[in-house]
Amino acid sequence: MADEQKETKPGFQNPVAGFGVTFKAMFKKRLTEQYPEQQKTTAPRFHGRHQLNRHPDGLEKCIGCELCAWACPADAIYVEGADNTEEERYSPGERYGRVYQINYARCILCGLCIEACPTRALTMTNEFELADSSRANLIYTKEQLLAGLEEGMVDSPHSIFPGTDEQDYYRGLVTEAAPGTERQVAVSKGEKPEEEGVDA
């Protein structure tokens, strides 16, 4: 008889214990977020949409080395480099990224491309709203990824700061565009990029 009571007692307490958890949760503060009416604040080091950075004078940091594309485990990055000329210069070095695409239908936002970049040309922003109704719109081009111009910058292509070289740019010695710097005529931008870009 005593054994039967021991067996039924735990069975009776289990539902009561379950309701106890329910009643405790009823008086806690709700965690519902009113998104998108109230925008979510991300952590400072959140991995969001990529950004191609510029030097303080407006030249691009990307040198078209394709290391980010090689490091990408999802094969989401396509880079096509080209040579700079004195008449059309996009970066301080010999080469620049003529075509740059990131496919956000594939990208897993892991940040391995950021670690692979030798010039800190590629970083990640806090922007996380990347959804779209079309897969084609998820392929971001260089124009969409390139950082905007700040005060004192001149849009590329333009000549490098007089009396400096590529190393001076990466040492941080160039802090603004040289007085009188003008944008050069972009010839290669008019060329149609090859059809072997990132697949949708």
Instruction: Name the more confident of 171 and 199.
Output: 171
Prediction pTM value: 0.75
Mean pLDDT score, 7-30: 71
We report the CATH number of the domain holding residue 102 as: 3.30.70.3270
Tally of domains in the chain = 1
Phi, psi (deg, nearest 5) at residue 22 = -60, -45
12 part of a folded domain? no
* pLDDT at residue 73 tops 90: yes
- Residues 109-145 pLDDT 10s: 999 999 999 999 999 999 998 889 999 999 999 999 9
115 part of a folded domain? yes
109 part of a folded domain? yes
* pLDDT at residue 193 tops 50: no
101 part of a folded domain? yes
Domain hosting residue 117, numbered range? 43-171
167 part of a folded domain? yes
